Structure 1
Amino acid sequence: MLRLAIPILFAAGPALADAGEYGHMRWGDGYGVGMIFGPVIWLIVLGLVVAGVIWLVRQTETPAGGHRPPTGALTELDLRLARGEIDGDEYAARKKLLNS
């Protein structure tokens, strides 16, 4: 019986030392709010870090040719030629006008 009682007393020692309330888990100490919202705040921080890394990668990546595609009027002109809205002569004339 004594063999069984000694391990039980050692295991119950911390609970017997603070038999009243557990001081570290009271709501009045302010720990309860942190325990509830702490994981939410970390998820928000983690989401912001992931979004920042994705944004950074998208800003620094370049196409296979090593340069960014042109934007604006020349791109629109190229698209109109590809869709067949204008022919080659009109494309050349407009491109010459845009480049001058």
Structure 2
Amino acid sequence: MEGYVSIPELIEYMKREGLVFAKETDLGHLKLREQYLRRKSLKYKEIADAKLWGDLSKKGVEAIAKRMLEPHEIFMKEKAYHVHISAIERIAKLKGIL
């Protein structure tokens, strides 16, 4: 695209190319999400920081984990609870996030 374009043309171009407008602050958690999903497990804080289950605090993530995780999907490592990536993805899909 070069020169001047109308707003409808810009929107149509963006739809065709699969582009969206996003706040710069929203991009930070997307990068974290991409990095974290390559791991085997994550801490509650990491799940909250990457907004994998929505815009929740560490306490909110902990509450969901207690309610929705099976005993085999969570384990203690280095004095912190970790959740297996498969369980994180399962809950994210149930919440419509991934």
Structure-2-length-normalised TM-score: 0.27
Q: Which has the higher contact order (CA 8 A, sep 6+)?
A: 2
- Richer in strand (by share): 2
- Higher-Rg structure is 1
Structure-1-length-normalised TM-score: 0.26
- Richer in helix (by share): 1
